[in-house]
Amino acid sequence: MRTAQRVLLAGVFLYPVSAAAQPGVIQDCPMSPSPAEAQIIRDRMLLGIYDAPSRRGQPDIFVPLTIHIIRRTDGTGGIGQTSIDLAIDGANAPWLGSGIQFCTPGATIFHDDDDLYSNTDTLAELNALRQLDQVQNTINVYFVSNLRIEIGSLCGISSFTTSSVDGIAVDYACLPHAGNPSTFPHELAHYFDLYHTHEPAFGTECTDGTNCLDAGDLVCDTPADPNVRGDVPPSTCVWNGSDTPTCGAAPYTPPTRNVLSYAPSTCRNELTTEQFARALATLTNLRPELIANGCDPCPNVADVNNDGVLDSTDFTAWITAFNTQDPAADQNADGNITPTDFSAWITNFNAGC
């Protein structure tokens, strides 16, 4: 059975595990709730805060991100818009069907500083970096060239709702353009209080699922996970470990495709129904400012019903707006609502998003 020594740094438990966690080696994010944070989470669960509201038939909530790029003082060393777009697309892919998608309503913010670029190598320095030029009511995401803390180099790190410092940081080397499609959505999952499938902070999850609501990652549709790091070949994405369960008669069948596992990054492309529900409840009940400040997924005036989709329902909505003299019917923006706005609506509709 694999064991790990816990190191407490600035209120966050870090779990160095095997050679992959030694200094100088890029490893998965080490985020885990402290005992005090774990108790807060348990108390919230008793209050039903993580029970998701129904959104059946409703459009996705588009959550705004602010992207920060750390570069050298002369402006070199960062990543370009193509890599940023790949990162956003890659982040959204495993979240499809969750009711949550991510977008970037504002401009990318660049931080040109040699020291930030090369010498951020403690948790305190990383926390300071994650507070630079924060845009309120968005998720501030920092793409960096040197993501290190005291235990070594990391792929990514994120805050929970219980964290004292808010924001996400991801190493350039752990983004889709560099062959890693899953670290960014992994960190976004943490931001909505989703935990590693092998999470130890709440106790060991039994393989028979009898304590799945109280242990492990606190959701029941992710099987118990002994921490699969190093035991899943990227060629097969199948666990070949030999860990013996400490409770539950069934053998381990860990979810090696789950975004929150420690399987190889190229294996992880799934989130489950219960993970979606917990994330949506976290967004609704604990991070509602992100909904209030969400972005328009379809910035086109032809989307008259504002559901983020251009379709025939917008024609019906335009007729209603025309008949009631609603400003949304003024498709040519001339200040008058006349039949010419119907032609303008067709033009706008055909232009797409």
DSSP sequence for 202-270:
T-PPPTT-TTTTTSTTS-SSS------TTSS-TTT------PPPSSSSSPP---TTBTTS-S-GGG--B
pLDDT at 10 over 80: no
* Gap between the Cα atoms of 161 and 182, Å rounded: 21
Task: Return the top range by mean pLDDT from 11-20, 143-152, 186-195.
Answer: 186-195
Q: Which segment, 54-58, 71-75, 289-293, 346-350, is predicted with the most confidence on average?
A: 71-75
Q: Which domains does the chain have, with CATH numbers?
A: 7-197+266-291 (3.40.390.10), 312-351 (no CATH)
Adjacent-strand bridge partners of 270: 258
Give pLDDT tens digits for 94-145.
999 899 999 998 899 999 999 999 999 999 999 999 999 999 999 999 999 9
88 C-beta neighbours (distance < 10 Å), count:
18
Q: Is the pLDDT of residue 176 over 90?
A: yes
pLDDT confidence of residue 143: 98
Query: 31-89 pLDDT, tens per residue?
Result: 789 999 999 999 999 999 999 877 777 888 999 999 999 999 999 999 999 999 999 99
User: Distance between CA atoms of 120 and 126, rounded to whole angstroms?
Assistant: 6
Would you state the pLDDT for residue 183? 97
Residue among 187, 93, 100, 190 nearest 144 (CA): 187
- The closest alpha carbon to 289, from 95, 140, 87, 90, belongs to 140
Q: Determine the pLDDT at residue 26.
A: 60
Task: Determine what percent of the chain is predicted with pLDDT higher than 70.
Answer: 92
**Residue 306 — very low, low, confident or very high, per pLDDT cuts 50/70/90?**
confident
The pTM score is: 0.82
For 115, the 3-state DSSP assignment is helix
| Confidence class for position 351, pLDDT limits 50, 70, 90 | confident
Instruction: Return the pLDDT at 295.
Output: 82
Contact call for residues 3 and 212 (beta carbons, < 8 A)? no
